[in-house]
Amino acid sequence: MTTISLLRTIASMALFGAWLLAGCASTVDVTKYKNNICEVHQLVMTVHEVECVSGNSCYMPDFRSAMHEQFPHHGRRRYSEDHFVLHARRLRDYVCPECTKAYEDWVARNPRKVASQGSAAAHANAQ
Ligand SMILES: [Zn+2]
């Protein structure tokens, strides 16, 4: 291994480590490269910090499907892996007020189809 390739390997490992640490930060900004117009409701969204827990909504297929179709930018609890971060306690993201209303309506109608506490993975394991 040449010195240059060794340095490239070390630099790659450092970048990967920085990415991991960013995912572990308490608040992660995920607004970069996103549009501030809700594609469902055609409203201008505002930036908010929203609660985030570890997990992935893929373990709740009904919720995930409804989220993508009806409330992709809700302002309630999010799952970190849906945003490609390993773990974050809070996300700084665009929030649409109509998405938040749609989320609350859907959760009220489907209380057993969304994790009440902890991660989505923990919810899936409990079923
Ligand atoms: Zn919306």
pLDDT digits (tens, 9 = 90+) for 39-53: 999 999 999 999 999
The rounded Å distance from CA 18 to ligand 1 centre is 32
- Is the pLDDT at 18 greater than 60? The verdict is no
Tokens of 112: 């057993």
Q: pLDDT-based confidence at 124, cuts 50/70/90?
A: very low
**Contact yes or no for 63/37 (Cβ under 8 A):** no
The rounded Å distance from CA 103 to ligand 1 centre is 10
The rounded Å distance from CA 8 to ligand 1 centre is 43
The rounded Å distance from CA 22 to ligand 1 centre is 27
For 16, the enclosing helix (H) or strand (E) is: helix 3-24
pLDDT tens digits for range 80-97:
889 888 778 999 999 999
DSSP for 27-46, written as a single string:
EEE--TT--SB-TTT--B-E
